[in-house]
Amino acid sequence: MISDEKIFAARILAVDDNILNIQILKKILTNAGFINITTTTDPTKALSLYKEIQPDLLLLDLNMPNMDGFAIMFQLSILNPNDYLPILILSAEDESIRFKSLQSGAKDFLHKPYEHLDVLLKSRNIIEVRLLYNQIKNHNADLEQQVHDRIKEIRDTRLEVIQRLAVAAELRDAGTGRHIYRMSRYSQLLALAIGFTKEQGELLLTTAPLHDIGKIAIPDTILLKPAALDEQEFEIIKTHTTLGAKMLSGSDSVFLKMAESIAISHHEKWDGSGYPFGIKGEEIPLAGRICAVADVFDALSSARPYKKAWTFEETMTEIRYLKTTHFDPRLVEAFQDIKQDIKAVYDKN
């Protein structure tokens, strides 16, 4: 229900070329308690006033010079196609025009001369429907916003959980957690540079951190060995790709599928000399090829317990050098093109 207070505070717009009619209407409405009344005798101002005031009731004359009531209704229905137009026609014209008025979007019709009470009751009915309509509309907008907020929250939480999980894996590897952060951002930038959509770029940003998740299952004696690995130990390290993919496999989620594809393919090389499968060129999933560039770039340009960090330029040169052997040449080129963006992430982190 709509309270009387709200009904009487409703915004009313009256359009009639006859000043006397306007005065009478205003008096009736004011005496009844309505406090928010705008009037005009110039029908060409009706549309701009409607737009400005967004009235809860439009009292509209039909027969007016320059722009008649039908033209106004027609324009309003075009400008507000999904709105409840609160139009009450007041006309001295023949009764037959009543049907045309109702067909043209008027909610009700009053024949002049009219009873005062009739104007008030019909006005009230239209205002009530209009306010209820607005209530529902606002409520729907609120619900939409709430759903939107919830989805965002779920997405953010998912991203955070994944990043923490990935950090856990990296910490085992004597890392600091920063590698996956930078590497996933480089991956996203590179993806966008070669034409990924914003959503696809975001998907890569959130899945790339899991590329080394399989390291969780590699024994400490090998993963944390301070000396160089022998051939057998290196074979075990290589299994972090297949182990990671196994951890992420079997899901219908686009997200986990991409993470799986990255985990299995981020050590493959363009010329087929990588692992675990030794596939080459475009046989390697694109997400894996992108992450390979980002992963190696960050590994080289940051310090590890066993090596110093290469400078930004040294690392860029090395990436260029590995074009066509390790990396997809198209990606290396795109990576050079976005050098400034890469540098910004590199400098900040």
Contacts with Fe ion, residue ranges (CB under 5 A): 212, 295
Tokens for 197?
Answer: 């959509």
d(CA 180, CA 210): 8
Contacts of 340 (CB under 8 A, 6+ apart): none
Torsion of CA 72, 73, 74, 75, to 10 degrees: 50
* Burial of 96 (C-beta count, 10 Å sphere; 0-12/13-18/19+): exposed
Shortest Cβ 277–Fe ion spacing (Å)? 14
Q: Tell me the DSSP string of 218-241.
A: S-HHHHT-SS---HHHHHHHHTHH
Q: Which of residues 76 and 210 has its CB atom nearest to Fe ion in the complex?
A: 210
Q: Tell me the DSSP string of 230-271.
A: -HHHHHHHHTHHHHHHHHHTT---HHHHHHHHHHHHTT--TT
d(CA 160, CA 311): 30
Q: Which of residues 76 and 284 has its CB atom nearest to Fe ion in the complex?
A: 284
Shortest Cβ 263–Fe ion spacing (Å)? 8
Contacts of 276 (CB under 8 A, 6+ apart): 238, 239, 241, 242, 264, 267, 268
Identify whether the C-beta of residue 112 lies closer than 8 Å to the C-beta of residue 24: no
Q: Which of residues 69 and 274 has its CB atom nearest to Fe ion in the complex?
A: 274
Q: Which of residues 10 and 243 has its CB atom nearest to Fe ion in the complex?
A: 243
Shortest Cβ 245–Fe ion spacing (Å)? 11
Shortest Cβ 260–Fe ion spacing (Å)? 14
Q: Which of residues 268 and 295 has its CB atom nearest to Fe ion in the complex?
A: 295
Shortest Cβ 154–Fe ion spacing (Å)? 27
Contacts of 27 (CB under 8 A, 6+ apart): none
Q: Which of residues 26 and 304 has its CB atom nearest to Fe ion in the complex?
A: 304
Shortest Cβ 243–Fe ion spacing (Å)? 11
Shortest Cβ 332–Fe ion spacing (Å)? 18
Please state whether the peptide bond connecting residue 43 to the residue before it is cis, i.e. omega within 30 degrees of 0.
no
Shortest Cβ 287–Fe ion spacing (Å)? 14
CA distances (Å), origin 30, targets 22, 23, 33, 77, 129:
12, 10, 5, 28, 21
Q: Which of residues 61 and 295 has its CB atom nearest to Fe ion in the complex?
A: 295
Shortest Cβ 295–Fe ion spacing (Å)? 4
Q: Which of residues 40 and 249 has its CB atom nearest to Fe ion in the complex?
A: 249
* Burial of 152 (C-beta count, 10 Å sphere; 0-12/13-18/19+): exposed
Q: Which of residues 1 and 228 has its CB atom nearest to Fe ion in the complex?
A: 228
